[in-house]
Structure 1
Amino acid sequence: MKRILLAAATVLLSGSMAFAQEQQPALHPKVLPMFGQIAKTDAQQKADEKFLTSCDKSFESRTEASNFFMERGWEFLNEGQVDTAAYRFNLAWLLNPDNFNTYWAFGVVEFNRGKTGEAISMFDRALKYQPNNSMLLSDIGLAYVQQYINDKKKKNLKQAAALLDRAVKADPNNAFALSGLSQVYFHNKKYAEAWDYLHRGRDLNIMSLDYNYLSELMTHMPDPKGMFRNEPAAVEAAN
């Protein structure tokens, strides 16, 4: 179940960023990663202690409790309730700061808010715990692709390629990493290679297919396999 949730989070990560780029109002610290990393008041610290004591009574360990709140967070995130998910991830982090999944989740949250640099920072924290985690590597790689789209700095595209290559080496069947490499080749204007990697990813897992990116690729080069065409109906039929 956990694996499925993480894959679903990756779909969110690789999807359209238009909604996340809109101007966001100031957020309450409780829905910022690690509670905004700001000093808490005495009242807030007492509330945390009460929460931890309650969890100690309800779960066999804080590790178990942390994992419970992580699962709830992924559920809310998959429903599009980003702030509610972020708060659950914060509770999971409070229970176990060494739970690398919390940093991974914070990265997904920040990415969905359009904060690509902050997302990469959180993913890097998670990577220190799991340096060969293929799904995590593909998430970081996709974040660097988005960072390149934002600032057009070639170093970010090179970093994306390196991370996505590592992801594929760790798991050759990681469809999201293959789809990410397709985007790297696209931005390097190597459209035939981009199509090849897009099809390889799609064949493994159709959920890795980003239709916004697909439409953009088709404007530069027709699908060599003829599976996708410019007509909207054809794109829908291939789903």
Structure 2
Amino acid sequence: MRKLLIAVFALFAATTTSFAQETAEQPNPSVLPMFGNIPKTEAEQIKDQKFLSSCDNSFSTRQEASQFFMNRGWEYFNEGQVDTAVYRFNLAWLLNPNNANTYWAFGLVTFGQGKLSESIGYYEKALAIEPKNSLMLSDIASSYLALHEAEQKKSKKKKTFKKVVEYTSKALEADSSNAFALYTMSKVKYQEKKYEDAWAYLHKGREQNVANIDFVYLTNLMAEMPDPKGFFKNN
């Protein structure tokens, strides 16, 4: 088993080294979600097969191998090494295209890059597999909310706000203690000018996780209506 794992990482290192050989004009597909959806050459397909065969010999199932590379990907993601993380997520996806977490990860990455419509597409793929995952639902709601706010600045009128409400409601139905969804619902109520309700949801979110508070939004809400509970005060 140890020798087989070493073989997997050797293949890993060879591909990682090739990152540096790519130019800025031609990003390496390995660091793009789902390998950039670019058709692979015969040589790349052979490399994929060698990788899959190595994993088949090293892990009990491809699902187990997929989760292994997802875990490594999250480690790099949390360290801010996004390209390296995406490569691991891609390997996890290659091993198990039905792993909802791979699409969720791609959604988080593209959201962080400001590619809102693309992130929504990946979240939708994840939700097609796990439709009642509250955190996934709240993340797609966040993408739709960011898209809605961007459209407002450009005076565009689209139906993104309905999507925000829809997915946030589903997230709270799946888990009423989801702090992310509670904060997003607070912003929904703010958009609807229902400031008392906005405060109610904000406080519910604060009780679950105070670290998630958006202080720019908090300032805007206080400008419309003082905190009924007196917990937050303008200086």
Specify the TM-score bucket, using the shorter chain as the normaliser.
0.7 to 0.9
Q: Distance in 1 between matches of 2:224 and 2:81?
A: 35
Q: Which residue of 1 aligns with 2:16?
A: none
Q: Which residue of 2 aligns with 1:30?
A: 30
Map of 1:224-235 to 2, 5 A cutoff? 224-231=228-235
Q: Distance in 1 between matches of 2:129 and 2:74?
A: 20
Q: Which residue of 1 aligns with 2:193?
A: 189
Superposed CA offset, 1:105-146 (max 9, x none): 111111011000000011001111111111111111111111
Q: Distance in 2 between matches of 1:190 and 1:154?
A: 21
Q: Distance in 1 between matches of 2:213 and 2:55?
A: 40
Q: How many residue pairs end up in the alignment? A: 208
Matched, 1:164 2:168: yes
- Report the CA distance between 1:33 and its aligned residue: 1.2
- Report the CA distance between 1:154 and its aligned residue: 5.2
Distance 1:25 1:229, change over 3 A: farther
Q: Distance in 2 between matches of 1:50 and 1:126?
A: 27
- Report the CA distance between 1:214 and its aligned residue: 2.1
- Report the CA distance between 1:55 and its aligned residue: 1.3
Superposed CA offset, 1:154-193 (max 9, x none): 5211110111111111111111111110111122222221
- Shift >4 Å, 4+ stretches: none
Q: Distance in 1 between matches of 2:211 and 2:129?
A: 27
Q: Which residue of 2 aligns with 1:105?
A: 105
Residue aligned with 2:131, SS: coil
Q: Which residue of 1 aligns with 2:128?
A: 128
Residue aligned with 2:159, SS: helix
Q: Which residue of 2 aligns with 1:83?
A: 83
Which has the higher relative contact order, 1 or 2, with Cα contacts under 8 A spaced 6 or more apart?
A: 1
What is the TM-score with the length of structure 2 in the denominator?
0.82
Q: Distance in 1 between matches of 2:205 and 2:139?
A: 15
Q: Which residue of 1 aligns with 2:138?
A: 138
Percent identity over the alignment is 54
Where structure 1 has 5 or more consecutive residues not aligned to the other structure, the ranges are: 1-23, 232-239
* Letter matched to residue 85 of structure 1: A
Structure 1 vs Structure 2 CA RMSD: 1.8
Distance 1:183 1:103, change over 3 A: same
Higher radius of gyration, 1 or 2: 2
Q: Which residue of 1 aligns with 2:18?
A: none
Superposed CA offset, 1:41-99 (max 9, x none): 12211221221122122211111010011111122222222222111110100011111
